[in-house]
Amino acid sequence: MSAASNLLKHHLQQRQIQGATHIALRPGTLAKVQGLSRKPATREPEPLKPIAVESAPAARRILDNPPPETKKAGLLEVAGDTIEEKLAALRAMAEAWEPARALESLRETMVFAVGDSHASLMFIGEAPGAEEEKLREPFVGPAGQKLTGIIKAMGLDRLQVYISNICKFRPAMENQGSGNRKPTAEEMRACLPFVLTEIDLIKPQVIVALGATAAEGLGIPGSVGGLRGRFHSTSGISTMVTYHPSYILREEKINGGMDAKRAVWEDMLKVMEKLGMPVSDKQRGFFKTK
Ligand code: URA
């Protein structure tokens, strides 16, 4: 899908959200728009892969006896006629999600997701950090700026993709300050029904798991080095695992980060090809060794 088509699609979705039911289109544009609507997915969700669960007996009880709305293949039942309405209902459910709250190891503020609810490309990170918690939007801090740069290099912008996290709350630490820690397997498991339901509603063509923690949360265990460069499957959807933008930031400080950036970019070129996006010679040449 071209950038122009994507922008047109986004504009039409915004108008629909704003309440427009009819929009006059020039001849020819209609055909383009119709070409944009994706085929209904025929994928069957794969059964949830179990993640090892640690301690916390109260949460353990809730996770072993999930509320009735989670029982269908790990997905949440949400009310609404449109994807936007269902995502809004899902977001409201996440605010009050008892299995996550009962752990008492996650902070109060829920950070949901951002982007196009009809996106073909979905990025999944691990958990919000300090900046994300403040703005209640995923990937807005330094790692977020790096991710936004990667998305731009692909010829897209943040509004054309969907960005979410495995864990919807910032993991708590003693003397937290601006510090962050990775979510535990138990914390990810408590939030997993949300990301699985987001995937089920949005039906992206490709998922990018940012870092080994996000991949593990999606049931793809291993190191990024061992997993990256090829597609895996999340509920039947092609999933590329690549380095987390924070890893690039760390590597930049140590050695300029060229190897990490090159690896991520090679993965993104594969994602673009899978999505049928045009790849220019300039894009193909980024980070190429002579
Ligand atoms: N890192 C993540 O994994 N997610 C965010 O939202 C921000 C930083």
User: For 229-240, what is each residue's pLDDT tens digit?
Assistant: 999 999 999 999
- State in Å: Cα 196 to ligand 1 middle: 17
Judgement on whether residues 40 and 148 belong to the same structural domain of the protein: no
The answer to whether residue 132 is domain-embedded is yes
pLDDT band at 33 (very low <50, low <70, confident <90, very high): very low
- Which of helix, strand or coil describes residue 208? strand
- pLDDT at position 284 is 96
The answer to whether residue 249 is domain-embedded is yes
Q: What is the DSSP letter of 137?
A: S
The answer to whether residue 69 is domain-embedded is no
The answer to whether residue 92 is domain-embedded is yes
Q: In the predicted model, what is the mean pLDDT of the chain? A: 84
Judgement on whether residues 263 and 216 belong to the same structural domain of the protein: yes
Q: Choose one of 64, 87, 115: the last residue of a domain.
A: 64
Q: How many domains is the chain built from?
A: 2
**88 pLDDT higher than 60:** yes
Is residue 129 within 8 Å of 210, Cβ to Cβ? Answer: no
E-strand spans in 116-172?
121-125, 162-165, 169-171
- State in Å: Cα 290 to ligand 1 middle: 33
Over the stretch 220-265, which tens digit does the pLDDT of each residue have? 999 999 999 999 999 999 999 999 999 999 999 999 999 999 999 9
**31 pLDDT higher than 50:** no
Judgement on whether residues 36 and 116 belong to the same structural domain of the protein: no
Average the pLDDT over 203-212 and give the result: 98
The answer to whether residue 227 is domain-embedded is yes
Q: Phi, psi at residue 232, to the nearest 5°?
A: -110, -170
The answer to whether residue 290 is domain-embedded is no
Percent of the chain surpassing pLDDT 90: 73
Q: Pick the atom of ligand 1 nearest to 211's CA.
A: 3
| Pocket lining for ligand 1, CB < 6 angstroms | 125-129, 132, 138-139, 141, 143-144, 165
Average the pLDDT over 30-40 and give the result: 41
The sign of the torsion formed by the CA atoms of 191, 205, 13, 155 equals positive
- pLDDT at position 63 is 53
Judgement on whether residues 53 and 156 belong to the same structural domain of the protein: no
Cα–Cα distance between 131 and 119 in angstroms, integer? 24
The answer to whether residue 243 is domain-embedded is yes
Judgement on whether residues 82 and 58 belong to the same structural domain of the protein: no
Judgement on whether residues 53 and 132 belong to the same structural domain of the protein: no
- Which of helix, strand or coil describes residue 75? strand
Residue nearest to atom 7 of ligand 1 (CA): 139
Q: Pick the atom of ligand 1 nearest to 111's CA.
A: 6
Higher pLDDT, 88 or 31: 88
Judgement on whether residues 20 and 47 belong to the same structural domain of the protein: yes
Judgement on whether residues 36 and 174 belong to the same structural domain of the protein: no
Domain span at 174:
74-285
Is residue 129 within 8 Å of 141, Cβ to Cβ? Answer: yes
- pLDDT at position 192 is 97
Judgement on whether residues 99 and 224 belong to the same structural domain of the protein: yes
Q: Helix 258-274 and helix 142-153: axis angle, to 10°?
A: 50
Average the pLDDT over 271-283 and give the result: 97
Is residue 46 within 8 Å of 237, Cβ to Cβ? Answer: no
Cα–Cα distance between 165 and 17 in angstroms, integer? 24
The answer to whether residue 126 is domain-embedded is yes
Q: Choose one of 14, 34, 64: the last residue of a domain.
A: 64
Is residue 195 within 8 Å of 217, Cβ to Cβ? Answer: yes
Judgement on whether residues 60 and 78 belong to the same structural domain of the protein: no
- pLDDT at position 27 is 43
* CATH number of the domain within which 170 lies: 3.40.470.10
Over the stretch 146-196, which tens digit does the pLDDT of each residue have? 999 999 999 999 999 999 999 999 999 999 999 999 999 999 999 999 999
- pLDDT at position 288 is 78
**116 pLDDT higher than 90:** yes
Judgement on whether residues 17 and 161 belong to the same structural domain of the protein: no
- pLDDT at position 65 is 55
- 112, 126, 241: which to mutate for ligand 1, most atoms within 8 A of CB? 126
Both tokens assigned to 257: 């980060």
Higher pLDDT, 106 or 4: 106
pLDDT band at 287 (very low <50, low <70, confident <90, very high): confident
Over the stretch 38-62, which tens digit does the pLDDT of each residue have? 433 334 434 333 333 333 454 445 5
Cα(first)–Cα(last) distance of the chain, in Å? Answer: 31
**77 pLDDT higher than 70:** yes
Judgement on whether residues 43 and 137 belong to the same structural domain of the protein: no
- pLDDT at position 74 is 86
| CA-derived radius of gyration, the chain | 19
Q: Choose one of 29, 64, 99: the last residue of a domain.
A: 64
CA 100 to chain centre: 19
